[in-house]
Amino acid sequence: MLKELSQKLDQIVEQAPGLLTVAIEHLETGEQYLNQADEVMYAASVIKVPIMVSVFDEVHKGRLRLDERIAVQAEDMVTGSGSIQYLSPGLELPIVDLVTLMIIESDNTATNVLMDRIGLDTIQSSMKDWGLSATQLHNKLQIIPAHPNPQRNVITAREMTTYLAKMARGQLVSYQACRKMIGIMKWQIFNDGIPSLIPATDELIGAVPKWEFAHKTGWVTGIAHDVGILYLQGHSFVVSACAKDFTDKASIHKSMGQLGRALYDEVYGS
């Protein structure tokens, strides 16, 4: 399927503003499409996916409970994405809610609180255990690093696709953990990338939707990523689109949307 689509996908990548790197895997066959997929990119908020996995890893090992409540203090609150920064200091939230906010609205405060709770070393160890090597986490979000030349949080499209393919197959942490993590990712509120050009459908109550996308986005100036699992009836694709060196965010999101639409049309017909 991806072999027949590769020319169209190549054209989308070539016409994208800046550098768009792509890694797609058709989960039913293992067939892949790769385009500059090993280019190392600043991770932005996509790094929150392995942080989520690390949390579930700690829960699976009995060192953490999803219902454990953490008080978010004023000194924990940081700017950027997320709503916690606007709430009253001292608010207690269960870990599962912090994970949910970290993923669906990319809350930076929730991310840092979780990193403090489980520890950077633990997260780095989990990332290594589950096959990430080029992908690196070194810093909290929206915090000025103490070191004058800090290492950056980085990802590649290939590694994110491989990682999410394991999640889709129930091979990260545990089958039940993967089901829960994918469920959270389906609640993503930022949908102006890969799913943006896929037709919306008004489904009947109880009907099986024509498509679902469990994903995580990330963006800073000149950087935009969208990585996730696209479920189409009878076909599932892990898609990682990671971009840099562009000036118009809307244009790069359109290119990502064209990738999602190409996969949709291949399954359902244009």
pLDDT tens digit sequence for 36-67: 999 999 999 999 999 999 999 999 999 999 99
What is the pTM for the complete model shown? Answer: 0.94
114 residue type, one letter: L
Cβ atoms of residues 238 and 229 within 8 Å: yes
Q: Label residue 145 by pLDDT band (50, 70, 90).
A: low
**Same fold across 1-39+157-270 and 44-155:** yes
Burial of 226 (0-12, 13-18, 19+ CB in 10 A): buried
Kindly tell me if the per-residue pLDDT of 107 is higher than 70.
yes
pLDDT number for residue 96: 99
Report the percent of the chain where pLDDT is more than 70: 96
Q: How far is CA 260 from CA 24, 94, 202, in A?
A: 10, 34, 19
pLDDT number for residue 248: 94
Q: Label residue 115 by pLDDT band (50, 70, 90).
A: very high
- Per residue in 15-37, pLDDT tens? 999 999 999 999 999 999 999 99
Cβ atoms of residues 217 and 46 within 8 Å: yes
Residue 8's contacts (CB-CB under 8 Å, 6 or more residues apart) are 262
Which residue, among 224, 160, 233, 235, has the nearest Cα to 194 in the 3D structure? 224
Q: Where are the domains of the chain?
A: 1-39+157-270, 44-155
* CATH code, residues 1-39+157-270: 3.40.710.10
- Per residue in 71-96, pLDDT tens? 999 999 998 888 999 999 999 999 99
Cβ atoms of residues 255 and 20 within 8 Å: yes
DSSP line for 100-149? HHHHHS--HHHHHHHHHHH-HHHHHHHHHHTT-SS-B----TT---SSSS
CATH superfamily of the 44-155 domain: DD-peptidase/beta-lactamase superfamily (3.40.710.10)
Q: Supply angle C-alpha 135, 191, 114, rounded to 5.
A: 45
- Per residue in 176-235, pLDDT tens? 999 999 999 999 999 999 999 999 876 677 777 899 999 999 999 999 999 999 999 889
Report strand pairing: 154-155 vs 41-42: antiparallel
Q: Which two tokens stand for residue 142?
A: 């929206």
